[in-house]
Structure 1
Amino acid sequence: MPETLLGQSPLTVLILVPAVVAALVWLVPPLRRLARPIGLVTSVVVLAGAVALAAGFDVAAADQAQFTQVASWISSFGASYAVGVDGLGLVMVLLAALLVPIVLVAGWNEVGLPVGVGDGDAAAERKALEYRRAGWVALILVLEALMIAVFAARDVFFFYVVFEAMLIPVYFLIGVYGGANRRYAAIKFLLYSLAGGLLMLAAVIGYFFVGTGQGPEALLLDQVGLVEMPFATEMLLFLGFFIAFAIKAPMWPVHTWLPDAAQQATPGTSTLLVGVLDKVGTFGMIVLCLPLFPNAAAAAAPVIIVLALVSIIYGGLLAIGQNDLMRLIAFTSVSHFGFIVLGIFVGSSTAVTGSMIYMVAHGLSTAAMFLVAGFLTQRGGTQDMGSYSGMQRITRVLAGTFLVSGLASLALPGLSGFVPEYLVLLGTFEQLPWAAIVAVVGVVLAALYILIAYQRIFTGPPSETHAGMTDLGGREKAVMGVLIAAMLFLGFYPAPVLEVLTPLGETVAALVTGGVA
């Protein structure tokens, strides 16, 4: 296990840097004018730190926590500040660190003034714009710190605290910077998330009192193998965690907050929300639900598999029926998360490994789709797909990047979605052939909702309304180029990610199939 300097984990540094810079940008007025370049430089530094972390990661021990740090926090409750990453935590930290600078560059001019602010006073408008942009950058950097913290958390209570704290920046990113119905969407997101969080808090408390002697480090994940409890108690605690994670994921039937949030949020916020934050739900299922409650997870797996299959089909069908482009992308994610959850609980190491890679692949493809959809709607002034026609003749690069992003989402060979979806279906077929057959319907639906959307927007006679629309500029091409390169890399050469995630996949599959003897 790599050593850390004086007991200080580099993960702690990666958490603190964006959080401190966010506070400075928000609280120091002279820095507000430079908020965007400061935020971008900070996010690139964090990305470089995450890459350095990956370079020092011991792949041979990928199923064990590395770069660990433990410090007593609330000893009377058994809570510690504990961080460390195994293979899955590492790739999720890398995903978060990659997408934040991409979102900052893509949204460089995304934040403007609300109508009526300044009333023609140039100085007042400039000051108000600086204030809004500084707030936007600060919220994204705080969110980055929390995303890294949640994927690195090695204590159950610390995980819960960060899990809940992430609601704050997301609520303001939607409620302040979103569309016309942003307040409704932000409140709906908050209420769903708080409901799940309350269930999880009750389960955390219950786990402490039935746990390992209620010692000062009782909630460390390293203690999970020492916990014994009656099955009924284990099932109740499992449900508390699982429902919270199902809401976050999101799974049917607790998914309804997502389409509203995606429709009203800015493209950058939707990218981080669906591309990274929603993965906390499936991440929590793997690192908390299964190790903490293996017997309950094994018993509940058949029901969860059915819910996952419903999510796959339901999300695909609803996506086909959407007119709003952002809602369409949101419903595709409901379907994709069904594949991820199916792979986690089907009891195959192949499927579990596929699910973990799926989390990364979906993060890349959904980021590309939300951002390129944002580029389109910012130019066209509407998210209604029926308002567009023949855009491939007007904005050729935009049309091409949308198509590539969509093909990655529907798992075309050579792009990021193919390998994980193939592994999930293969592993599912090995265990439950009928479930794999049902899930394949989702593959067909994916082809329909992506290609129908492309046909409606980009083919046919050009729209006179949008005849003068400009194509992607250099900044936007750079953003999409990085994402497409990442999707191609994962599509053609997934070996490094497979090597890191396979050991953990074998461990997780054993928990689902056998629980604890």
Structure 2
Amino acid sequence: MPIFPIHGWLPLAHVEAPSPVSILLSGILLKMGSYGLIRATGTLPDGVSALQGVLIALALVSLIYGGLLAWRQSDLKAMIAYSSVSHMGVVLVGIAALNVAGLTGAVMQMVAHGLVAGALFLLIGLMYERTHTRNIDDYSSLVRVTPRFAVLTTLAFVAAVSLPGTVGFIAELHALIGGFQRWGWLVLLLSLGVMISAAYAIRTVGRLFTGPVSARMRHIPDLRGVEMVAASVLTAGIVLLGLFPAPALRLVSASVSHFSSVFGV
């Protein structure tokens, strides 16, 4: 689980890995640690309760620190990697709350991050195959050349900010409710992480729609059939789970409801 201070391996792995590996890493492998920690809360409740303060502290630091590092990146892959540290901080907030709302938010955030990060790594990887650059400055006004890529990338970055209508909003809302029930106003620091995420997302989306078109970008092809289908499936999942979360929430709630008896919540 890439949480501060044991997060340093993740950006290096993503930057060096080919896009399919990055998609697998972000979509599935990052969740293994979170899944193990959730299972540990049920089997080792006293130990987890004793470390509850440490977990929330690490979660909030990861949330803010990961967002700040993402803001400083010019390499899009590194930006998404550091944003993953921030998003996994939200997962840890939900787990550390040790209540049904928080754990529901943690599981939903795992799903949300898998879809959002998977979509972003897919889109950036497809564009890298065409341009051999991931520098954000080279992507200025790309909407004029590759409108399908620009629209889907914009949607994925909007989802990364967890705006209403996306699955990330559902996840972070439950994590926030669970954290507030446990720690009160302290957990509103989570909102600072959201604002930092909005800052680098707006900057990146702004590049796609403004500025001069780079000479190396003027004649690149837009997303093709299979590429468009793959990216659309991920972005559709982001929107559908955001607009119609009830089935997923019922499934998740059924899985975490037994924690009510374990922790008395």
Q: Same fold (TM over 0.5)?
A: yes
2:106 to 349, 355, 361: 355
Contact 1:365 1:416 in 2 (8 A): no
1:479 to 230, 250, 265: 230
CA drift of 1:385 comes to 1.4
Q: Which runs of 5+ in 1 are unaligned?
A: 1-248
Structure 2 residue 149 is the aligned partner of structure 1 residue 401: no
CA-to-aligned-CA distance 1:264-321 (integer Å, 9 cap, x gap):
111111011011111001000011x212321110000111100000000000000000
Q: How does 1:303-382 map to 2 (within 5 A)?
A: 303-382=54-133
Contact 1:347 1:513 in 2 (8 A): no
Structure 1 pair 512–305 and aligned structure 2 pair: CA distance change class (3 A): farther
Comparing 490-499 and 315-324, the one that deviates more: 490-499
Task: State the structure with bigger RCO (CA 8 A, min sep 6), 1 or 2.
Answer: 2
- Give distance in 2, aligned partners of 1:256 and 1:328: 13
- Give distance in 2, aligned partners of 1:508 and 1:266: 39
Structure of greater Rg:
1
Secondary structure in 2 matching 1:335: helix
- Give distance in 2, aligned partners of 1:512 and 1:263: 40
Counterpart position of 2:176: 425
Structure 2 residue 31 is the aligned partner of structure 1 residue 266: no
Structure 1 pair 316–510 and aligned structure 2 pair: CA distance change class (3 A): farther
CA drift of 1:512 comes to 5.2
Contact 1:286 1:508 in 2 (8 A): no
CA drift of 1:513 comes to 6.4
CA-to-aligned-CA distance 1:157-185 (integer Å, 9 cap, x gap):
xxxxxxxxxxxxxxxxxxxxxxxxxxxxx
CA drift of 1:510 comes to 5.2
Residue type of the alignment partner of 1:325: L
Structure 1 pair 464–273 and aligned structure 2 pair: CA distance change class (3 A): same
Secondary structure in 1 matching 2:112: helix
Contact 1:351 1:423 in 2 (8 A): yes
Q: How does 1:185-200 map to 2 (within 5 A)?
A: none
Q: How does 1:465-476 map to 2 (within 5 A)?
A: 465-476=216-227
Secondary structure in 1 matching 2:215: coil
Counterpart position of 1:192: none
Residue type of the alignment partner of 1:326: K
Secondary structure in 1 matching 2:216: coil
Structure 2 residue 253 is the aligned partner of structure 1 residue 502: yes
CA drift of 1:262 comes to 0.5
Q: How does 1:132-143 map to 2 (within 5 A)?
A: none
Structure 2 residue 3 is the aligned partner of structure 1 residue 257: no
Residue type of the alignment partner of 2:2: P
Normalising by structure 2, what TM-score? 0.95
Contact 1:346 1:512 in 2 (8 A): no
- Aligned-residue identity in percent: 37
CA-to-aligned-CA distance 1:333-366 (integer Å, 9 cap, x gap):
0000000011011122111111111111111111
- Give distance in 2, aligned partners of 1:309 and 1:319: 15
Q: How does 1:39-58 map to 2 (within 5 A)?
A: none
CA drift of 1:401 comes to 0.5
- Give distance in 2, aligned partners of 1:507 and 1:440: 29
Counterpart position of 1:435: 186
Normalising by structure 1, what TM-score? 0.50
CA drift of 1:465 comes to 2.2
How many correspondences in the alignment? Answer: 265
Structure 2 residue 32 is the aligned partner of structure 1 residue 280: yes
CA drift of 1:403 comes to 0.4
Structure 1 pair 511–304 and aligned structure 2 pair: CA distance change class (3 A): farther
Contact 1:386 1:457 in 2 (8 A): no
CA drift of 1:258 comes to 0.4
CA drift of 1:508 comes to 3.1
Secondary structure in 2 matching 1:465: helix
CA-to-aligned-CA distance 1:6-58 (integer Å, 9 cap, x gap):
xxxxxxxxxxxxxxxxxxxxxxxxxxxxxxxxxxxxxxxxxxxxxxxxxxxxx
Q: Which runs of 5+ in 2 are unaligned?
A: none
Contact 1:350 1:505 in 2 (8 A): no
Comparing 382-391 and 493-502, the one that deviates more: 382-391
CA drift of 1:328 comes to 0.3
